Amino acid sequence: IGAICYLDEIVEARQDTTVVIHPLTDHRRQLPLEKKGELIQAHPDFQLVISYNPGYQSLMKDLKQSTKQRFVGFDFDYPPAELEASIIATETGIALADAVRLVKVGGTARALKGHGLDEGISTRLLVYAAMLMRADVEPVDACRMALVRPITDDADIRATLDHAIDAVFG
């Protein structure tokens, strides 16, 4: 039967190994296992899915064009605020009102992307902050530990985000 093979952060693989999947991703739909002398034919329902964050990597960590052209692409963004808050509340068990506050802090950081921050605060980090809050860490402390300190060492950016946290949770 068919299956989905998901390769996360494919750009972390060496480029010379990534080309091994080329015959699997084109009209041949085959995976050669050279060391074993085998050729595996993909099931008609087989799908290969890869993921990576194109903005994160340097030019040294991008996919080769010949690999990119074998896939369709989807752009993903943060979920709408209401949905993101619902996700955080559902995943962690914190009150929806607190999840909404976390999303507000996340939005502040995301607005700084390209203005001192390379990346905004991910939903994953918001979940981490919520988990700390659920474990009885004060919300302001949880936000600073899970949302601010992991993403920047810049004192001015930290101060801006700390101020946003104080405004939302203070």
Q: What is the pLDDT of residues 145-159, one digit of tens each?
A: 999 999 999 999 999
93 close to 127: Cβ distance less than 8 angstroms: no
CA distances to 26, 30, 149, 166 from 98, in Å: 47, 50, 20, 13
Structure tokens at 75: 């752009």
Instruction: Say if residues 148 and 102 touch (Cβ distance below 8 Å).
Output: no
The confidence score (pLDDT) of residue 83 equals 98
Alpha helices in 2-138 (DSSP H): 15-18, 22-25, 65-68, 81-92, 96-111, 123-134
Which token pair is 136?
Answer: 């009885």
Structure tokens at 2: 């068919």
Mean local confidence (pLDDT), 76-89:
96
pLDDT for 42? 94
Domain-wise residue ranges, the chain: 4-68, 81-169
Reported as a single tens digit per residue, the pLDDT across 15-49 is 778 888 999 999 999 999 989 999 999 999 999 99
Q: If DSSP codes are grouped into helix, strand and coil, which group holds residue 30?
A: strand
Statement: residue 64 has pLDDT above 80: yes
SS3 136: coil
Compute the distance between CA of residue 55 and CA of residue 38 in angstroms, rounded to an integer.
37
